[in-house]
Amino acid sequence: MSTEPPLLLALDLTGTFAFGLNGALTAVRAARLDVVGVVSLGMITALGGGVIRDVLIGAVPPATFVDWRYFALAAGGALLAYAFSRLLDRLDMPITVLDAVGLSTFAVIGASKALDHGLGVGPALLLGVVTGVGGGTMRDTLILRIPSVLRSELYAIPALVAAGITVAAVKAGLYALPSVLVAVAACFVIRMLGVRYRLNAPGPLGRRPGDGSSGSDPGDQR
């Protein structure tokens, strides 16, 4: 990741910290775990998507294991969430903003790295999304929740938009800081609009949100 523009690298590191923080907070809220469990889930959230991407494209060892900053920031965010979970509950929106920054940068980096390793457009788009949402999906699976990406405000779609802009820029020979910022900004804005207005991807035709035999989402039980 050292070949990325410095600003994107800074946003990537910020996103890693935010994902560690948000992932650990989710673990605290949804499951009764000790410090090892909370920190582990925070780090999985922050690092899991990148590890999946690197393993799939053969970039081993994964970048996470080469650059100590990723491990340190993921662990630091998770430990902060464990120590100050009650206080951080009041900062839900700032943490969501940082999480959106992480989603945006991870999607851009994931798509560009896939292209660097010779993958086509489709796989690059897929790995851009996987880089952004993979860690959170792993976390939710481990605590027996339906992954947030499948049921909450727009999440995978903004990542796909960022990956799409990135792929188009690379193919057009325009991949540089301006195109990177456009892709990051597009993902960020769509994600935050989804949060602000509670927007969701369309559900099954003929069914309204909340319909279901159980009447509740087991993942939302505290």
pLDDT 10s per residue in the chain (222 long)?
A: 445 678 888 888 988 998 999 889 888 887 778 899 999 999 999 999 999 999 999 999 998 899 999 999 999 999 999 998 888 778 888 888 888 988 999 999 999 999 999 999 999 999 999 999 999 999 989 988 888 888 767 899 999 999 999 999 999 999 998 999 999 999 999 999 999 998 887 777 766 655 544 433 333 332
Amino acid at position 213, single letter: S
Q: Is residue 214 part of a domain?
A: no
Determine the Cα–Cα distance for residues 75 and 205; give it in Å rounded to an integer: 42
Q: Is residue 162 part of a domain?
A: yes
Domains in the chain, number: 1
Q: Is residue 222 part of a domain?
A: no
Determine the Cα–Cα distance for residues 39 and 35; give it in Å rounded to an integer: 6
Q: Is residue 221 part of a domain?
A: no
Determine the Cα–Cα distance for residues 132 and 13; give it in Å rounded to an integer: 13
Q: Is residue 213 part of a domain?
A: no
Judge if the upstream peptide bond of residue 94 is cis by omega within 30 degrees of 0: no
Residues 6+ apart with CB under 8 A from 189: none
Determine the Cα–Cα distance for residues 76 and 195; give it in Å rounded to an integer: 26
**For residue 159, which phi and psi values (nearest 5 degrees)?**
-65, -40
pTM, entire model: 0.86
- Following CA atoms 62, 63, 68, 70 in sequence, which dihedral angle do they give, to the nearest 10 degrees? -110
Beta carbons of 183 and 162 less than 8 angstroms apart = yes
Angle at 110 between CA 104 and CA 114, to 5 degrees: 155
**Domain residue limits at 171:** 6-198
Determine the Cα–Cα distance for residues 34 and 21; give it in Å rounded to an integer: 16
Q: Is residue 205 part of a domain?
A: no
Q: Is residue 203 part of a domain?
A: no
User: Can you give the pLDDT at residue 129?
Assistant: 96
